Structure formats: structure tokens, C-alpha cells
Structure 1
């Protein structure tokens, strides 16, 4: 596993972003932590040759985790992408 850490300071909202890379960087997880208490996690998983599953969750300070995005992205032969979302309210 390879990982990176970026700390941004000196702005209104300092933050740290840690990313863990797997499978040669084709799959990764990023955790963002802001000084304000906001956190976000992004999972980016390669599930096929041209197919990715992406989930994004976040929480405000003292809040609960909420889903921002849960989708599958398909890279199309013409260079475009098709997105199928699974995060609509029931």
C-alpha cells in the first residue's frame, strides 16, 4: 500500500487530506479532515476494465455520516462517461 498526506494551513479552513492507494493506484480511499470538524471520505474502486464504483460520505462537526454520492462510472468507447447513481432517497 502507498499513501500520501497533504496538510493545508494558512487559509480560512485548514485541512488534512490522507489518501491510501491500492492495486497500483487504480483503487484508492481519501479521508479529508478540516479544522472546523468537517470530514469526508471518498472510496474510488476499480471494478472492471473501464468501470469504477465511487462513494463519498461526509459529516459536519458533531454530526452523523451522510452519503454524498454512491455511483458506478463507465468509461464509454467514445471517450465519454456514463454514471449510474444509487444514492437517491427511497
Structure 2
């Protein structure tokens, strides 16, 4: 995940909801939250929403072209098999 700003925001939110007794440890816990979040998120194979949307569009276009090609092949096969019967 390249957008570490979101990790920073999440770490701040987590530290903000700490019980009053732990507020003195806020900075230390926020650093720990940040480290844990980064370590775990980097292990996952995540992509940005923008990248996901682009790939979804590419897939949709590819599927559309594949269907058109399949229809074209079926039509050509029908012509070949239909033409072969006339000659026999």
C-alpha cells in the first residue's frame, strides 16, 4: 500500500479512542499501532482502489471482445461445416 497517509490517520484514530487511563501512553501506542499496521498491510498483496477499477474495466472490455470473437468463430465454423455438406 503506497498511501501511508491513511495508515497515519488510522493510527491516530486508534490512539484517540484509548481509555483515559492510557492517554499517557498515547504517543507510544500510536507508534506501535502505526508499525503493526504497516507491517501487516505490506504483507498483503493490496492495490489501490484506482488500480482495481482500471483493471476491472480492462477485464470487462476483454470479456466483451472474447464473447465477440467466440461468436465470430462459431459463425465461421457454421459456414465451414455448412459449406462442406453442400460439396459432399
The verdict on a shared fold, with TM-score over 0.5 as the criterion, is no
* Bigger radius of gyration: 2
- For CA contacts below 8 A with separation 6 or more, give which structure has more relative contact order: 2
Normalised by the length of structure 2, the TM-score is 0.20
- Structure (1 or 2) with the greater helix fraction: 2
- Structure (1 or 2) with the greater strand fraction: 1
Normalised by the length of structure 1, the TM-score is 0.20
